[in-house]
Amino acid sequence: MPRDTARNAILNAAVTVLGRDGLDGFTAAALAKEAGTSKANVFHHFATLDEIAIASFEVFGAAMLDAAPTGADAGWLRALGDSSIAMAEHQRTLLNAYFVFFTKSLFDARLRERVRATFDPLLERMASQFGPDVPDAPARARLLAIVLDGLALHLLIAGATGDIRAAWNLFVDLIEGRTQP
């Protein structure tokens, strides 16, 4: 297996293992098995498991950025909620990995910096959806990220997709000024 291919397989395996098994299951043996390689090869490419977790967040960040809807129409905000709900329903492992990364970053300064740096392009994309005439677009994007984190966490833990979809639609109506608080 070429160097880049093996390295990428290990990074993709890290996202899968973290999302499926959490931090307790994040071992060199589990990574090697998931990536179809040996533990020796895992440590040939990375010095530590922490280094793998940190590097794999960029793989995760790229997947999140790819999943974010774009478009200048007014429906992008609803589409953002719909794509988050769909991710919770169909890509649970990826979303689980997101929360594992966030939790781990509370205690790991290097991962926290990677999380911030990887998150910035997503926030910028969301802010750009509001258009150039919205002076508080970055704050709105941050608010959306906060609400989407809560939406995803509730979906993963409690289910209740219908209730959460209704809550998201109410949030969109509030943001767009269709409903008064």
pLDDT in tens, 62-102: 776 666 666 655 677 888 888 888 877 777 887 888 888 88
Going 127 to 129 to 135 to 136, the CA torsion angle's sign is negative
Residues in the chain: 181
Contacts of residue 117, Cβ cutoff 8 Å, sequence gap at least 6: none
Indicate the burial class of 43 (C-beta count within 10 angstroms; 0-12, 13-18, 19 or more): middle
Residue 38 has pLDDT above 90, yes or no: yes
Q: How many CB atoms lie within 10 A of CB 155?
A: 21
Cα–Cα distance, 107 to 137 (Å, whole number): 30
Q: How many CB atoms lie within 10 A of CB 51?
A: 13
Identify the residue whose tokens are 């998931």.
34
Q: Is-contact 107 23, C-beta < 8 A? A: no
pLDDT in tens, 159-171: 878 888 898 988 8
Domains of the chain: 3-175 (1.10.357.10)
Q: What is the DSSP letter of 68?
A: S
pLDDT average, residue stretch 6-35: 90
Question: Which H or E element spans position 168?
Answer: helix 161-175
At 49, list the tokens.
């498991």
Cα–Cα distance, 117 to 156 (Å, whole number): 25
What is the pLDDT, as a whole number, of residue 49?
Answer: 86
Residue 21 has pLDDT above 70, yes or no: yes
Average pLDDT, the chain: 83
Nearest to residue 29, comparing CAs of 20, 18, 40?
40
Q: Full-prediction pTM beyond 0.85?
A: no
What is the pLDDT, as a whole number, of residue 156?
Answer: 86
Residue 148 has pLDDT above 80, yes or no: yes
Cα–Cα distance, 37 to 141 (Å, whole number): 40
What is the pLDDT, as a whole number, of residue 181?
Answer: 60
What is the pLDDT, as a whole number, of residue 90?
Answer: 78
What is the pLDDT, as a whole number, of residue 119?
Answer: 80
Cα–Cα distance, 176 to 178 (Å, whole number): 6
Which of 55-59, 60-64, 74-78, 138-142 has maximum average pLDDT?
138-142
What is the pLDDT, as a whole number, of residue 2?
Answer: 58
pLDDT band, residue 105 (cuts 50/70/90): confident
Q: Is-contact 23 100, C-beta < 8 A? A: yes
